[in-house]
Structure 1
Amino acid sequence: MSGIGLYFHVPFCRRKCSYCNFYSAPATPEQMAAYTEAVCRNLRYYTSNTVVADTLYFGGGTPSLLAPEQLEQILACAAACFSIPPDAEITLEANPATLTPENLRRLRAAGVNRLSLGVQSLSDAQLRRLGRMHTAQEALDTVEAAAGAGFRNISCDVMLALPKQTPAELSETLEQMAQLPIQHISAYLLKIESGTPFARQHAEQECPDEDTAADLYLQTVRTLEQAGFRQYEISNFAKTGYESRHNCKYWRCVPYLGIGPSAHSCWEGKRFFVPSDTADFLAQPVQQAVLEDAQPCTPEEQIMLGMRLTEGIPAHWLAEKQTEVERFCRLGFLRRTDDRISMTPEGFLVSNTILAELLG
């Protein structure tokens, strides 16, 4: 991983989903045009033609609300400001309800080569509870249309431990998803965040308890492994060679630059973020950078991030904690392979407790 990552936070959504606490708001066409110009303005500020950026990631929000020509403009500006190799991974997060076959063809022609689709469930009842704008069939049709438009690297999100979710319902979603022409699946346990509609509705009262949620997670790991999607991170599964190159930079402490309101960066030896204020981002000649950490990627942080990956970390990083490591191995929470230590799926479920002891 020689290159850095570029992340663009697109703060626009048609409407807020019931579970979402990411920064986003509705936008006018004029705001999206102004956002495109602001992103390019910031790219020119950070410009460094000697720096290779081999992953670009549009997150949000709903980045697929941007017009293909706006994405093309941002990508052209990025190519003028950084050295972007021909095989760069260029990811766009997308809501299935915002995509048409024609739109998908235009996105692929603009240079996007990886789609991350917010499917979340293939149960129409669950999609309605989540506040999603698409149906299960529309999600399936979007995936097929994306493959037909030339996308060969497609990821789908799925949520676990939803209100009233049963093992059978989850199994049906996973089995249908595994049959699609996709290469990657992100599977997240639902967390009820304060300030969201779910929190106001006390949705946690209808969610599976912790033990059941753990069972749903382990069911997901088993089902996806059997379908050829290897777990490579706590919540991420991929067919061989289709791991998210961009997200792996976060977990391996590779530098990345974030542009846009609420975007985070680990750049030039500092960790900083942009305030969650779209109006301010559009008005400023250069985005505000609020310092979070003047000395990031300490050994402790590298252990915490590295243990999110199934490849784990070099065993010598925990040389002084061998007693604890051996105990967690006996309990089935850690595994030692050659000279590396990693979490098991069961370990991922209690990773915070394990890390607190290993780093204590």
Structure 2
Amino acid sequence: MSNNIGLYIHIPFCKSKCPYCDFYSGRASENDYDNYIKVLSDNIKTWGKKKDKAVLSVYFGGGTPSILGTERLSYLLSMIKEFFNIADDAEITVEVNPDSGKTLDFNLLKRTGFNRISIGMQSAVEQELKALGRIHSINDAEVTVKRAQKAGIKNISLDLMLGIPYQTIESLKKSIDFCTNCGVTHISSYILKIENGTVFDRIQNKLELPDEDSQAKLYLFAVDYLKKLGYEQYEISNFSKAGYESRHNINYWKCGEYIGIGPSAHSFFNGKRFYYNRNMEDFIKNKTYFDCCGGDKEEFIILSLRLKSGLNFKEYKARYDEDFPENKIKIIRKYTDLGYMVLDDNSAYFTPKGYLVSNAIISELI
């Protein structure tokens, strides 16, 4: 196993719960934030005993990490630096909601060590934001980006959602143009999935959602238009300027190891996958649950094919001491002929339209 890992910190708080969201998060008080910081600090100290492994990326996700405010975020990162072996050039990301982001002290965050900001905008069209239950305005997003840039943080990502209520090619183009006009270096563009138990799940028959064909057209338009604007697709839902790919997420797709701290957080460490339950009680006790042994052949295929670089046959052989099976090559050739995949001497990967049916193809490969 590699001596390098990623570190994920889950912040389970939001000012309001978005109707499409299935992540473990909810509303809480300032006192709740402080109590959580104490528990989180204790767990950081416990996990920090794994100092033999260098941390190449730290990611604060949620929920809404920015809701904690500048001082708490800076304190947590200082704790992590004290108890973990953080690489000098580590990528350190915090997710930011434009509503709370417009009041953060990005100068202090940068001095503490944060060097990447991921902003959950979702759309630059007010009607779409309202339909998604977002509490911020388009102006909030623009202000947040500019304030982070003014502080000298160049690595900034904006989230966009595809297939959302009222969305058209024209409105998606408007959202993409907003991102590029802001000068961000990274764009994540996810197709909306209706998750069980969410508000959208209960009211989906009333939602003005694009049908499956329209969703596919929106996705393919985004891939093509972003490429024209200088954002290369490097993963099924992620696009960046050269050199600004998310190192933290690439580590996931490369079967790299990582430690997740916080309720609902998952880990892959020392060859095992395990997780915290979606409740505070187990997290307070630092009680994790074994999921499975990670890094097997099927998992490597599934995760590698999320990346535009795809499944590398040399890496496969180096990991498992065997050539990639010929029967699977035949399956790939079939989908290459249909325009869903590309196959060369060293690798196989999906085309943009192949990503739209990738789950079905992968299930055949494994």
TM-score range, shorter chain: over 0.9
1:238-297 per-position Cα deviation (integer Å, ceiling 9, x unaligned): 111111000111111111000000000001221011011124424x2xx1101111x211
User: What SS does the aligned partner of 1:179 have?
Assistant: helix
Deviates more, 1:9-18 or 1:194-203: 194-203
AA aligned to 1:358 is L
Rate the CA distance shift 1:74–1:101 in 2: closer, same or farther, 3 A.
closer
Moved over 4 A (4+): none
Partner of residue 308, structure 1: 306
Task: Supply the distance in 2 between the matched residues of 1:7 and 1:65 (Cα, whole angstroms).
Answer: 17
Partner of residue 135, structure 1: 137
1:1-360 equivalences in 2 (<5 Å): 3-46=4-47, 47-100=49-102, 103-202=105-204, 205-282=207-284, 284=285, 287-293=286-292, 295-315=293-313, 316-359=323-366
AA aligned to 2:149 is A
1:319, CA displacement in angstroms? Answer: 2.9
Deviates more, 1:202-211 or 1:54-63: 202-211
Task: Supply the distance in 2 between the matched residues of 1:204 and 1:220 (Cα, whole angstroms).
Answer: 26
Rate the CA distance shift 1:98–1:128 in 2: closer, same or farther, 3 A.
same
In structure 2, stretches of 5+ residues that fail to align are: 314-322
AA aligned to 2:218 is L
Deviates more, 1:83-92 or 1:65-74: 65-74
TM norm structure 2: 0.93
User: What SS does the aligned partner of 2:154 have?
Assistant: coil
User: What SS does the aligned partner of 1:84 have?
Assistant: strand
Deviates more, 1:251-260 or 1:178-187: 178-187
AA aligned to 2:102 is T
Task: Supply the distance in 2 between the matched residues of 1:332 and 1:310 (Cα, whole angstroms).
Answer: 15
For the aligned residues, what is the CA RMSD? 1.5
Rate the CA distance shift 1:202–1:102 in 2: closer, same or farther, 3 A.
closer
Rate the CA distance shift 1:203–1:232 in 2: closer, same or farther, 3 A.
farther
- Report the count of equivalent residues: 355
1:47-96 per-position Cα deviation (integer Å, ceiling 9, x unaligned): 12221001000000000011322222222222222211221111001100
Rate the CA distance shift 1:49–1:151 in 2: closer, same or farther, 3 A.
same
1:311, CA displacement in angstroms? Answer: 0.3
AA aligned to 1:143 is V
In structure 1, stretches of 5+ residues that fail to align are: none
Rate the CA distance shift 1:204–1:51 in 2: closer, same or farther, 3 A.
farther
Contact 1:231/1:310 (<8 A) preserved: yes
Rate the CA distance shift 1:102–1:207 in 2: closer, same or farther, 3 A.
closer
Deviates more, 1:336-345 or 1:94-103: 94-103
Deviates more, 1:50-59 or 1:34-43: 34-43
1:102, CA displacement in angstroms? Answer: 5.2
Rate the CA distance shift 1:232–1:318 in 2: closer, same or farther, 3 A.
farther
Deviates more, 1:43-52 or 1:3-12: 43-52
Task: Supply the distance in 2 between the matched residues of 1:280 and 1:296 (Cα, whole angstroms).
Answer: 23
Rate the CA distance shift 1:107–1:129 in 2: closer, same or farther, 3 A.
same
AA aligned to 1:345 is P
1:356, CA displacement in angstroms? Answer: 1.3
User: What SS does the aligned partner of 2:260 have?
Assistant: strand
1:203, CA displacement in angstroms? Answer: 5.2
Task: Supply the distance in 1 between the matched residues of 2:282 and 2:81 (Cα, whole angstroms).
Answer: 26
Task: Supply the distance in 1 between the matched residues of 2:189 and 2:309 (Cα, whole angstroms).
Answer: 18
Contact 2:70/2:104 (<8 A) preserved: no
Contact 1:36/1:73 (<8 A) preserved: no
AA aligned to 2:87 is P
TM norm structure 1: 0.95
AA aligned to 1:221 is V
